[in-house]
Structure 1
Amino acid sequence: MTTISSKDLPLADLYVEHQPWLFGWLRRKLGCGEQAADLAQDTFVQLMAAEQVVQMHEPRAYLTVIAKRVLFNHWRRRDLEQAYLDALAVLPEEYAPSAEQRMLVMEALEQLDHALDALPFKVKQVFLLNQLQELTYSEISAQLAMPVITVRRYMKQAIRACCLVSSD
């Protein structure tokens, strides 16, 4: 097995050789050619943005790892958008936000989602239990078998991450 580096196989060659395969793989996962094409492009964009040369023994395996990450983010963004649209659907029409307001809210939700996703799992879990399920710190402490002081510390960490997003 030979080692292929991006020096030996320029990105354009990698794209020409593996894009059709990646597109097919994504199309099978998504059931939609247009979304598969978009996500295949996003995968190669992420590969281009890599800060260091990666030694690839198996380019398709490496592309699959990146594509899975892109696909997961796509699904998460889609689920987040659907949850927001579901919440809007129950609002009386006079309170419904404009298209511009909906877009701004979706952008803010995506930024918060990315900020929370960067946190350790337990911190995110504590924050979501408090904010979405409206559990008190004591209830979270009991449910997760951790001291209340730890719950407070995790909430502070999560709130700080959310505030940093809102100040950008």
Structure 2
Amino acid sequence: MSSRDSSITHLYAQHQGWLQGWLRRRLNDSSDAADLAQDTFLRVLQRRQNLSLEEPRAYLRTIARGLMIDLWRRRDIERAWLETLQQLPEQQAPSPEVGVLMIETLVAIDSLLDELPPAVREAFLLAQLEGLSCPRIAERLGVSLSTVERYIAKALRHCYRLAFEQEP
């Protein structure tokens, strides 16, 4: 066993129970806590860095906190999707398989938008969702037209990179 594997094994043995308890107290759900604790250690395994941690619990807490936020965001998206489905006539409701794909797509879009700076995200959403022109967006945000054009270009480059330049 390599020293890295030994470090991860030791980290797991020493802190898995504590992490799961910490998550359980925050989530009020032992099943979600167990899943997120495992996901936290999976993230540690996926990182290719050396594990010489001075504060292992702070490190694990940081990863787990991000995973909790992802879980809550996903559940918010799922809730919004279900509310949208309730508005549709039954014959127009998509199949469960399509629903799962829609949720996955919405989660990916949410993640993509979250990576953008707030002003860039807002300009992009005003253009895409409200159909506002760049001059109207500039007026609404109180910035110059060239700034809005830069924001939109940045958001579009970001979308393009994620869609076409990442490896599968």
TM-score range, shorter chain: 0.7 to 0.9
Deviation of the 1:79 alpha carbon:
1.1
User: Which runs of no fewer than 5 residues in structure 2 stay unpaired?
Assistant: none
Instruction: State how far apart, in whole Å, the 1-side matches of 2:5 and 2:99 are.
Output: 46
Q: How does 1:37-76 map to 2 (within 5 A)?
A: 37-76=34-73
* Alignment CA distance shift 1:9-1:98 (3 Å): same
Residue by residue over 1:39-69, the C-alpha shift from the partner in whole angstroms, topping out at 9 and shown as x without a partner, is: 1111111111112114311110111111111
Q: Is the 8 A contact 2:23 2:36 kept in 1?
A: yes
1:125 matched residue in structure 2: 122
Letter in 2 for 1:161: H
Give the alignment partner of residue 112 of structure 2, picking from 103, 115, 137.
115
Alignment length, in residue pairs?
Answer: 163
User: Which runs of no fewer than 5 residues in structure 1 stay unpaired?
Assistant: 1-5
- Alpha-carbon RMSD across the aligned residues, in angstroms, is 2.4
Letter in 2 for 1:162: C
Which has the larger displacement, 127-136 or 96-105?
A: 127-136
* Alignment CA distance shift 1:126-1:36 (3 Å): same
Q: What's the TM-score, normalizing by structure 2? A: 0.83
Deviation of the 1:155 alpha carbon:
2.1
Q: Specify which structure has the bigger relative contact order, considering alpha-carbon pairs within 8 angstroms and separated by 6 or more residues.
A: 1
The answer to whether the aligner puts 1:145 opposite 2:142 as a matched pair is yes
1:91 matched residue in structure 2: 88
Q: Is the 8 A contact 2:7 2:51 kept in 1?
A: no
Q: Is the 8 A contact 1:112 1:162 kept in 2?
A: no
Instruction: State how far apart, in whole Å, the 2-side matches of 1:28 and 1:107 are.
Output: 28
State the SS of the aligned residue for 1:10.
Answer: helix
Deviation of the 1:158 alpha carbon:
2.1
Identity of aligned residues (%): 44
* Alignment CA distance shift 1:54-1:123 (3 Å): farther
Instruction: State how far apart, in whole Å, the 2-side matches of 1:120 and 1:162 are.
Output: 13
* Alignment CA distance shift 1:165-1:111 (3 Å): farther
